[in-house]
Amino acid sequence: MFKHILIATDGSELAGKAVTTGLNLAKSLSAKITIVVVTEPRTHLVPDQTLASPAADERDAMLARAAQAILANVRAEANKLNIQCDVTHVTNEFPAEGILKEAKAKGCDVIVMASHGRRGLARLVLGGETLRVVTQSTIPVLVCR
């Protein structure tokens, strides 16, 4: 069925459910996985930071360290289950675009990710990244809640 599963995570508890689901799916199908963490680009919308400030550079370094820790934890879980695992940190992309580009680049045939289930104004303001992935993906998307 599926031979290469992309699992998107941000390290949150809810994303952890998607990670567990993706790992179990990979184990049951003897599929390989790619784990992706996407770090959004800096924007002028972040208060008290210019795009080239030392604070912004420290933010980038902090996000990179956090992404590497998330990826290391998931890789360790995959290794315990003897699942072939590749990890990647996509930087300077909005989550939906980064997830979709990575899935295409790696030749994945399904995406597993979480949805926070926001509705109404919250979804409009926060962007609905899962909705973007679902509507723009050319491969199946398994959404975990």
How does pLDDT run across 61-92, given as a tens digit for each residue?
999 999 999 999 999 999 999 999 999 999 99
Residue ranges, the chain, pLDDT below 70:
43-54, 117-127
The pLDDT value recorded for residue 39 is: 92
Predicted TM-score (pTM) of this structure: 0.86
Q: In 3D, which of 92, 104, 131 has the Cα closest to residue 34?
A: 104
* Sign of the dihedral defined by the CA atoms of residues 121, 126, 127, 130, in that order: negative
Count structural domains, the chain.
Answer: 1
The pLDDT value recorded for residue 50 is: 54
Residue 114 is part of a domain; what is its CATH number?
3.40.50.620
The sheet carrying 4-8 orders its strands as 85-91, 32-39, 4-8, 110-114, 141-144
The pLDDT value recorded for residue 51 is: 53
Domain enclosing residue 13, as ranges:
4-144
